[in-house]
Structure 1
Amino acid sequence: MCAKPIETKDISYEALLQGNKDWVRDTIDKDPGFFDKLSDGQNPPVLWIGCSDSRVPANQITNTKPGDIFVHRNIANVVVHTDMNMLSVLDYSVNVLKVKHVIVCGHYGCGGVKAALGNKQVGIIDNWLRNIRDVYRTHELEMSAIQDPVKRFDRLVELNAIEGASNIMNTSIVQAAWANGQELSVHAWVYSLKTGIIKDMEVTSNCLDDVTPAFKIG
């Protein structure tokens, strides 16, 4: 016979299920038709590509509701052209859901970015973190000029989000949408765990003119 489910430090397995029941009850008390509307389908205007970190939930930090944001998360919000999972999410979001915004959101204090800054071997994730090291290599002159290690860490978080947004913009998926006149903007954000505030990196792109020539299609 299998062992009993392991309890975490603060939340038991049973508490998760009870929490669900409590949430359903409270939600129905506030809006009796909430789940009827939710089950009718989704039409989110936003695709959020963020970090898997448990402290950065898209809906809570943007004060939005279930159904408002389509979400893809991975370690350190990495966006690379070889990730079929991410590309499948992007394709569905752009071509089926017709989202208006794609947001790549990093966060200060990101463990994945911090690991990429060091030389310690972590495990299989080292292969994933090489994508962040590539971002560092691309911006090595800027990064090497930053003497404060905290500021250097923060800047790599920002550059990783910006690079991710650039990679989204350079995909054939987004370029085809823009070529067809679809309304779509790509953004890079960084969230602060210390303040709760999101920083807009102000690199929004919404047309083919912003695509890097090396990646421009047809």
Structure 2
Amino acid sequence: MCQINLNKYLDHNKDWAKKLFDSNNNYFSDLTEGQSPIAMLLGCSDSRVSPSKVLGIDLGELFIHRNIANVVSHSDLNFLSVMQYAVENLGIRNIIVYGHYGCGGIKAAYENKSNGLLDNWLANIKDVIRHHKDELNSIQDEAEKLNKLVELNVLEQIENIKQTSIYKEALEMGIEIKLHAWVFDFSSGLVHDLKARRELSMQE
């Protein structure tokens, strides 16, 4: 069995902390004062799509929650608690749903094979498949179909956020929460704004 050396991450951490401290003696002491993130991000747990790496996020900028296939489930008290804290305690007014092409959770839901306990979670994505059955069936290429499902899933989770009591109560209080649909593309390293893309296609 291959031996994995996790100590390299601790060594990296020491170097990283030293560089930041040397450049700004108050960097870490300022962090202890509290957080004021500019947005909340719901992303996938996939190890290849780290928002901090891909988006160049500094500490304290994003309030992040991650799960398999970036799903908003109305029975998921974990996500709902995170969202409520973000909106009500941190005053966040922008929420990003951040999916990615090549998502294993999306593929597993599409293939509809038995995955044990995971099937209960994937049922949320299977609902997306059912709602967009005709559109997906019209796509012949399997890779394109899965990519489209990734996009549809992100957009569907935006709609699910709108159905939460947290979002509705914010609207009733006159608080505008902007929702953003983003997808990371492994082939280019770029993040695509699905809403901006949709608006652009409507103008053409």
Report the TM-score, using the length of structure 1 for normalisation. Answer: 0.85
Q: Secondary structure at the match of 1:78?
A: coil
Q: Which structure 2 residue ranges, 5 or more long, are not aligned?
A: 197-204
| 1:37 Cα deviation from its structure 2 partner | 1.0
Q: For residues 149-168 of structure 1, what are the alpha-carbon distances to aligned partners after superposition, in whole Å with 9 as ceiling and x for unaligned?
A: 01100000001100111101
In structure 2, C-alpha distance between the alignment counterparts of 1:78 and 1:38, rounded to whole Å? 30
Give matches, 1:49-60, under 5 Å. 49-60=42-53
Q: For residues 20-60 of structure 1, what are the alpha-carbon distances to aligned partners after superposition, in whole Å with 9 as ceiling and x for unaligned?
A: 11111121122221101111100102000000011111122
Question: Are 1:193 and 2:168 matched, yes or no?
Answer: no
Among 101, 104, 122, which residue is 1:108 paired with? 101
Partner of 1:215: none
Question: Are 1:88 and 2:88 matched, yes or no?
Answer: no
Among 32, 42, 63, which residue is 1:70 paired with? 63
In structure 2, C-alpha distance between the alignment counterparts of 1:13 and 1:59, rounded to whole Å? 20
| 1:64 Cα deviation from its structure 2 partner | 2.1
Contact 1:50 1:106 in 2 (8 A): yes
Q: Secondary structure at the match of 2:98?
A: strand
| 1:106 Cα deviation from its structure 2 partner | 0.5
Give matches, 1:37-48, under 5 Å. 37-48=30-41
In structure 1, C-alpha distance between the alignment counterparts of 2:67 and 2:96, rounded to whole Å? 14
In structure 2, C-alpha distance between the alignment counterparts of 1:64 and 1:75, rounded to whole Å? 21
In structure 2, C-alpha distance between the alignment counterparts of 1:29 and 1:120, rounded to whole Å? 53
Contact 1:7 1:13 in 2 (8 A): no
Partner of 1:158: 151
Give the residue type in structure 1 aligned to 2:149.
L
Among 124, 130, 133, which residue is 1:140 paired with? 133
Identity of aligned residues (%): 44
Q: For residues 88-109 of structure 1, what are the alpha-carbon distances to aligned partners after superposition, in whole Å with 9 as ceiling and x for unaligned?
A: 0000001110112001110000
| 1:197 Cα deviation from its structure 2 partner | 1.0
Q: For residues 86-139 of structure 1, what are the alpha-carbon distances to aligned partners after superposition, in whole Å with 9 as ceiling and x for unaligned?
A: 000000001110112001110000111011111322221121111111100010
Aligned length: 195
Contact 1:58 1:69 in 2 (8 A): no
| 1:76 Cα deviation from its structure 2 partner | 0.7
Give the residue type in structure 2 aligned to 1:61.
V
Q: Which structure 1 residue ranges, 5 or more long, are not aligned?
A: 1-5, 204-218
Partner of 1:182: 175
Give the alignment's Cα RMSD to 1 decimal. 1.4
